[in-house]
């Protein structure tokens, strides 16, 4: 199977666990979109759920496919969130997320859920976070140059994310900086340093949030538990 087929199979496996009556977080990105598509088929067959999208892009897709959504900001504690990831550390199931630009809302939803199920293909598994995959950091647009300087002072090689030559804006109106820092020796220490920088809104380090990772491989589906 190609990567898309593997992700589709893993997304279908994850969606099969959604129970009737669930309040469900809907992630952002290509893999999460496959999960929304699989979910819409179950909804058409009678599954009753309420979805909480993590981006306007996901909201638009869910509405188009007939997935019921909670009013913006008006939802109780979530039962489950299904999302993708840019990297998954094998031993810890810690994640890097945010290459899709929705890391703040994704982390808010993941933190509100009883369980986080992550869907990936096998290429996203790593022994240690970082390396070739940059770490996205969401920063306030006001004074972004100063925030970039503080990130650079930590040796993180920050690059402002651009779209058509203009700074990328998240759904919250913030910029995204992609930090190129090699393998991360201590993700929790790095998270603490980044969180202490004025102007940093959130980081793409999702530590201790994923409870299950469903991996699509050419040989089949692997389910990893924390």
Task: Specify whether 83 is located in the same domain as 14.
Answer: yes
Q: Does 193 fall in a domain?
A: yes
Q: Does 119 fall in a domain?
A: yes
Q: Which of 39-43, 68-72, 221-225 has the lowest mean pLDDT?
A: 68-72
With a threshold of 0.85, does the pTM exceed it? Answer: yes
- The confidence score (pLDDT) of residue 73 equals 73
Summary mean pLDDT of the chain: 95
Q: Does 222 fall in a domain?
A: no
Count of domains for the chain? 2
Task: Specify whether 194 is located in the same domain as 211.
Answer: no
Could you give the angle at the alpha carbon of 201 between the alpha carbons of 190 and 211, nearest 5°? 60
Mean pLDDT calculated for residue range 54-83: 92
- The confidence score (pLDDT) of residue 40 equals 98
Confidence category of residue 76, pLDDT binned at 50, 70, 90? confident
Contacts of 104 (CB under 8 A, 6+ apart): 138, 170, 172, 174, 201, 202
Q: Does 94 fall in a domain?
A: yes
Q: Kindly report the CATH number assigned to the domain that includes residue 83.
A: 3.40.50.1360
Confidence category of residue 71, pLDDT binned at 50, 70, 90? confident
Task: Specify whether 7 is located in the same domain as 115.
Answer: yes
Q: Does the structure show a pLDDT above 80 at 72?
A: no
Task: Specify whether 9 is located in the same domain as 44.
Answer: yes
Q: Does 130 fall in a domain?
A: no
Mean pLDDT calculated for residue range 42-62: 96
Task: Specify whether 26 is located in the same domain as 115.
Answer: yes
- The confidence score (pLDDT) of residue 153 equals 95
Mean pLDDT calculated for residue range 5-22: 94
Print the domain residue range for 195.
Answer: 135-202
- The confidence score (pLDDT) of residue 1 equals 67
pLDDT 10s digits, 93-146: 999 999 999 999 999 999 999 999 999 999 999 999 999 999 999 999 999 999
pLDDT above 90 covers a percentage of the chain that reads: 92
Catalytically annotated residues: 106
Task: Specify whether 32 is located in the same domain as 64.
Answer: yes
């Amino acid at each position: 199977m190609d990567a898309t087929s593997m992700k589709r199979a893993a997304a279908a496996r994850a969606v099969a666990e959604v129970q009737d009556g669930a309040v469900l977080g809907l992630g952002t990105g290509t893999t999460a979109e496959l999960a929304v598509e699989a979910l819409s088929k179950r909804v058409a067959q009678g599954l009753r759920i309420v979805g909480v999208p993590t981006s306007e892009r996901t909201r638009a897709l869910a509405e188009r496919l007939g997935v019921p959504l909670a009013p913006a900001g008006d939802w109780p504690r979530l039962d489950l969130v299904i999302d993708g990831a840019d990297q998954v550390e094998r031993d810890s199931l810690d994640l890097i997320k945010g290459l899709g630009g929705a890391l703040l809302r994704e982390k808010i939803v993941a933190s509100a859920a009883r369980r986080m199920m992550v869907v990936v293909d096998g290429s996203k598994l790593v022994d240690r976070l970082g390396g070739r995959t940059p770490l996205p950091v969401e920063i306030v647009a006001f004074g972004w140059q100063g925030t970039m300087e503080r990130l650079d002072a930590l040796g993180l090689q920050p690059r402002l994310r651009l779209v058509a030559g203009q700074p990328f804006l998240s759904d919250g109106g913030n910029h995204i900086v992609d930090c190129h820092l090699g393998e991360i020796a201590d993700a929790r220490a790095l998270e603490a340093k980044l969180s202490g920088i004025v102007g940093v809104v959130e980081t793409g380090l999702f530590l201790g949030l994923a409870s299950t990772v469903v991996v699509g491989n050419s040989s089949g589906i692997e389910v990893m538990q924390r």
